[in-house]
Structure 1
Amino acid sequence: MGSGAGIALACLLATRFAPALPAAAAEQAAVCDIRCDAQDPATATSDRTPVTTTLYGRTVSLHLSDNDVMGWASIDGGQAGDEVWLDRSFDGGKSWSSGSRLGATKIPSGSTAWRSQMYNVDDWNNAGVGALRACARAGDRAEIACTGWARNNRNAGTRSTAAATALMMLYDRDTGLFESNGWWTSANALTAVIDNSRISGLGSYKYAIARTYDKNIDAQGGDFTNEYLDDTGWWGLAWIAAYDATGDSRYLNTARADADHMHDYWTTGQCGGGVLWNQNKTYKNAITNELYLQLTAALHNRVKGDTTYLQRAEDEWAWFQKSGMINSSHLINDGLDDNCANNGQQTWTYNQGVILGGLAELHRATGDNALLTTARQLADASTGAQALNPDGILREPGESDACGGDGPSFKGAYVRGLGKLDVALAGHPYSAYLDRQAAAAGSKDVDPLGMYGPHWNGPRTTVASGHGCQHSALDLLNAAQAD
């Protein structure tokens, strides 16, 4: 990064100053795409300025040539000795130590404006999806100002593909997981990327399917299992999506292994049925069993001649609908207490959504229209709940300003499930709801880089870390585009 926390914060906010100039970066290896780094901007085939900032009366601008997939920095209204350069990041602006002070140059004597050379935005073959910002320092001052981060329009023809591209900035090619290496949340992020490739036709990021699989197939319990059965369910559904996208049977086989692992923890001694939340605990909760329902029904719909997974899906739904977790308002609480009664805990959004995807899959398997009738009753309750939709826009109970941890992924799972139900229903009755959510997020919760925050209805907050908000926004845009 820069030479101190103050500089990092200043540059990220784009309008604040820090007290010192970062040391010059080591010589950078040239990145080549359509063209190689360090080109003359005079040769650019286009010029777009998505972000600017000011510094003691000077204007600092980031220029992008979308056709060349390159950018450069400029400073205007300055004086001789003023310095300008580019920073380049491959993790959505979280760090830039390996791509800082690119093309650093000073305004020469007799001039008031200057620009850097052009550098590539992406490192397609190595570091991945990139972003640029322009930075400058007045020659007679120590402070630095940087614009916000932005990138070219490659793979960003729609809101959803722009969000997918921004999410892939947070993909760690070394681990095959997403920023902060969250386990079950990475399964959701990968699912969102796969869904986007199917809905939008953008296949540029399908490489992440095999990379994630190969790097993590032997992690934790193997086959994407661990002691948390809900984690296993999320990964099982990710591999269903991967199988649908590629036709590669190894993904279907892994989804089967995940479902079988979950089935091993279906117990009748505690509450008469249902899958445990954790293989070492007795808690039966909603999300684990909803995931098991959707996964087993989805497997039946893809495994030729299956009867086993269909029976498991039907057993799950028969148990779940009588378990008491669906309350009198047709919302689903977190789980069951020690007496096998509804524990009255929070009605998290993902508990309201995954069940919808599960019922849509089970209806596909059986043709039982009563399943869709029940699903609509649940969907009407959650889309109409004031507590979940203040001002008509979805908000997680206790929603914070953060994007790390578990909670920021919940809304994505909700709209993904609602979207699956909406596609299955004649007339697409929830498309207006999904469109309203997408319009709010697209106008109130996104930055020039295509990164979304936690609050779809605003205010937009600066996100320090975590990929949950971004994949949830992508899930939303996918669902709105799919109807």
Structure 2
Amino acid sequence: MHTTSFFQALLLSAALIPNTFAQSDIADPTTRSEFALSALQIWYNAATGLWDTTGWWNSANVMTMVANLAKIDADNAQLQDLASRIFANTLTQAPAQNPQPGVEDDAVARRSTSNETHSLFNSTGKESGYVKALSADFEPTSTMPKDWAKNAGAYVDVKSLPIFQAQQDVTTAAANPDEWLDGFYDDDLWWALGWIRAYDVTGNTEYLTLAEGIFKAVTKVWPTSCGNGGIWWSWKKEYANAIANELFLSTAAHLANRAQDKEYYIDWAEKELNWFLGTGMINERGTINDGLNDQCQNNNMTTWSYNQGVILGGLVELNKASPNNTYLPLATRIAKAAIMELSDTSGIIHDACGPTCGPDASQFKGIFARNLMQLHEAAPDDAFVETIQVNANSIWMNDRDEGDRISINWAGPFIAPANASTHSSGMDALVAAIVVK
């Protein structure tokens, strides 16, 4: 472990550790991850509870990555303290940054009195201008409401907040799940998974209860018009895609292993998996396309890395909650197909958008690495070890600037500017390398 002065740099979130300490010949995965965490915390804004330079749902993924590092490095008391304070602060501050609060309940209320006319799917009184659009190859791009970033106010260092002055354990007030809903069900479930992981680290049942509330809110949009199952991507009910449904599976399965009503969550996870397998979104190569077309068939659009990843964690957790001899073999087949399809000749993972990916897709590869790590813990495989190590080593050697910030191109060279999305995504691979070393 590093000295107290190292973690003071983490807690202060003010200045990077001098680069003389961050030499490329550092080989220990834990040490690499700790240096990268120091760089990441430059972007954490305690005033918002989010990481500057990235979006709302991305910050849920950043928090999940921090929680994974804290869970793996459980004996590091200073890291545990940092993580617990990040969770508590984010719980308090982030709801005010929700880009579109209230739109889901408004849409449900209008549909319940309107015979579900299409016009009302696309119009509520709570729309804010938060939009997710799909490019020609179905790369999602989020457009935040006007002045969303400006509403954050001035940057505030996390250690300046009252929660950092207290010496006692960090505590939180009751959280309202509705404050975390924004009309895009993948966003909602990213936050649910983030709070589940925060619960795993802290044992704080408030986080688990919040995750349950978010999940139960999303169950209200089951089913879609395809096969009488699945959930929509958004409150507009226009697209049934892989990511929202994989997240629904994964969240239900994670809750089945933690919440009291185990059978309730197992039932939801199994219903989702059965529906998903029947949609044809898993193609003949064994990878997963983006979603369904208007005829409820595989649209054969891009096999994004996060769609190959989230289902792995969902299958691992479902197998733990309700063992079935098909779940882990299915996850292994998907993972190996994805590695084959997404890797270059050196074994480095790339998405179809390459180094020009937008601020949403820049998060994707890390999500794959995170879930591949979870699958390896349940079903160890040399191919998973090699993929994680090759990518983590390339990130460390080829994809950092002088401040240890990580960019989008895991193969290198570094592409400026790095941001909290590209950096945390790369960190997912660094953290995964701790598990497989």
TM-score (normalizing by structure 1): 0.67
Check 1:400–1:458 CA distance in 2 against 1; reply closer, same or farther (3 A cut).
same
For residue 446 of structure 1, the aligned residue among 382, 400, 410 is 400
Partner of 2:15: 130
Partner of 2:264: 308
Check 1:151–1:214 CA distance in 2 against 1; reply closer, same or farther (3 A cut).
farther
1:279 is displaced (CA, Å) by: 1.3
Q: Over aligned residues, Cα RMSD in angstroms?
A: 2.4
Q: Relative to total residues, which structure has the larger helix share, 1 or 2?
A: 2
> Counterpart amino acid of 1:478?
V
> Counterpart amino acid of 1:311?
D
1:203 aligns with 2:80: yes
Check 1:426–1:417 CA distance in 2 against 1; reply closer, same or farther (3 A cut).
closer
For residue 416 of structure 1, the aligned residue among 358, 361, 370 is 370
Give me the whole-angstrom Cα distance separating, in 2, the residues matched to 1:411 and 1:181.
Answer: 16
> Counterpart amino acid of 1:160?
S
> Counterpart amino acid of 1:398?
C
For residue 460 of structure 1, the aligned residue among 414, 430, 434 is 414
Check whether the contact 2:54–2:419 (CA below 8 A) recurs between aligned residues. Answer: no
Check 1:191–1:67 CA distance in 2 against 1; reply closer, same or farther (3 A cut).
closer
Check 1:300–1:427 CA distance in 2 against 1; reply closer, same or farther (3 A cut).
same
> Counterpart amino acid of 1:417?
N
SS in 1 for 2:364: helix
Give me the whole-angstrom Cα distance separating, in 2, the residues matched to 1:267 and 1:305.
Answer: 22
> Counterpart amino acid of 1:209?
F
> Counterpart amino acid of 1:183?
W
Partner of 1:164: 37
For residue 205 of structure 2, the aligned residue among 220, 226, 249 is 249
> Counterpart amino acid of 1:259?
F
* Structure with more contact order per residue of length (Cα contacts < 8 Å, sep ≥ 6): 2
Check 1:151–1:259 CA distance in 2 against 1; reply closer, same or farther (3 A cut).
farther
Give me the whole-angstrom Cα distance separating, in 2, the residues matched to 1:410 and 1:348.
Answer: 7
> Counterpart amino acid of 1:468?
S
1:375 aligns with 2:331: yes
Check whether the contact 1:270–1:282 (CA below 8 A) recurs between aligned residues. Answer: no
Partner of 2:91: 213
Partner of 1:393: 348
1:281 is displaced (CA, Å) by: 2.3
1:256 is displaced (CA, Å) by: 0.5
SS in 1 for 2:314: helix
SS in 2 for 1:278: coil
Q: How many pairs are equivalent?
A: 346
1:285 is displaced (CA, Å) by: 0.2
Structure 2 counterparts to residues 353-368 of structure 1, below 5 A: 353-368=309-324
Which structure has the bigger radius of gyration? Answer: 1
For residue 181 of structure 2, the aligned residue among 219, 222, 225 is 225
Once the two structures are superposed, what CA deviation does each residue of 1:339-383 show, in whole Å capped at 9, x if it has no partner?
000011111110001111111111111111210011111111011
Give me the whole-angstrom Cα distance separating, in 2, the residues matched to 1:157 and 1:427.
Answer: 21
Partner of 1:173: 46
Once the two structures are superposed, what CA deviation does each residue of 1:294-334 show, in whole Å capped at 9, x if it has no partner?
00000010013421111000000000011111011011000
Give me the whole-angstrom Cα distance separating, in 2, the residues matched to 1:421 and 1:282.
Answer: 32
1:472 aligns with 2:428: no
SS in 2 for 1:283: coil
Check 1:129–1:482 CA distance in 2 against 1; reply closer, same or farther (3 A cut).
farther
Where in structure 2 are there 5+ consecutive unaligned residues? 23-28, 103-177
1:203 is displaced (CA, Å) by: 2.3
Give me the whole-angstrom Cα distance separating, in 2, the residues matched to 1:165 and 1:151.
Answer: 14
Q: Which runs of 4+ in 1 moved over 2 A?
A: 66-70, 121-125, 149-153, 200-205, 216-223, 268-272, 387-391, 426-429
1:251 is displaced (CA, Å) by: 0.5
Check 1:388–1:436 CA distance in 2 against 1; reply closer, same or farther (3 A cut).
closer
1:338 is displaced (CA, Å) by: 0.3
SS in 2 for 1:264: helix
Give me the whole-angstrom Cα distance separating, in 1, the residues matched to 2:243 and 2:411.
Answer: 26
> Counterpart amino acid of 1:167?
L
1:269 is displaced (CA, Å) by: 3.1
Check whether the contact 1:422–1:429 (CA below 8 A) recurs between aligned residues. Answer: no
Partner of 2:360: 406
> Counterpart amino acid of 2:183?
E
SS in 1 for 2:431: helix
Structure 2 counterparts to residues 19-418 of structure 1, below 5 A: 122=9, 124=11, 128-131=13-16, 150=19, 158-201=31-74, 202-206=79-83, 207-217=85-95, 219=98, 220-221=101-102, 222-385=178-341, 387-401=342-356, 405-418=359-372
SS in 2 for 1:185: helix
Partner of 1:436: 390
Give me the whole-angstrom Cα distance separating, in 2, the residues matched to 1:389 and 1:437.
Answer: 11
SS in 1 for 2:207: helix
Check whether the contact 1:401–1:461 (CA below 8 A) recurs between aligned residues. Answer: no
Give me the whole-angstrom Cα distance separating, in 1, the residues matched to 2:431 and 2:354.
Answer: 22
More displaced stretch, 409-418 vs 389-398: 389-398
> Counterpart amino acid of 2:396?
G
SS in 2 for 1:392: coil
1:389 is displaced (CA, Å) by: 3.2
Check 1:379–1:130 CA distance in 2 against 1; reply closer, same or farther (3 A cut).
same
Check 1:196–1:374 CA distance in 2 against 1; reply closer, same or farther (3 A cut).
same
1:173 is displaced (CA, Å) by: 1.1
Check 1:67–1:238 CA distance in 2 against 1; reply closer, same or farther (3 A cut).
closer
More displaced stretch, 219-228 vs 319-328: 219-228
1:129 is displaced (CA, Å) by: 3.5
1:427 is displaced (CA, Å) by: 5.1
1:244 is displaced (CA, Å) by: 0.4
Give me the whole-angstrom Cα distance separating, in 1, the residues matched to 2:3 and 2:433.
Answer: 29
Check whether the contact 2:54–2:421 (CA below 8 A) recurs between aligned residues. Answer: no
1:272 is displaced (CA, Å) by: 2.3
Q: Relative to total residues, which structure has the larger strand share, 1 or 2?
A: 1
Check 1:288–1:392 CA distance in 2 against 1; reply closer, same or farther (3 A cut).
same
Check whether the contact 1:131–1:151 (CA below 8 A) recurs between aligned residues. Answer: no
1:428 is displaced (CA, Å) by: 5.8
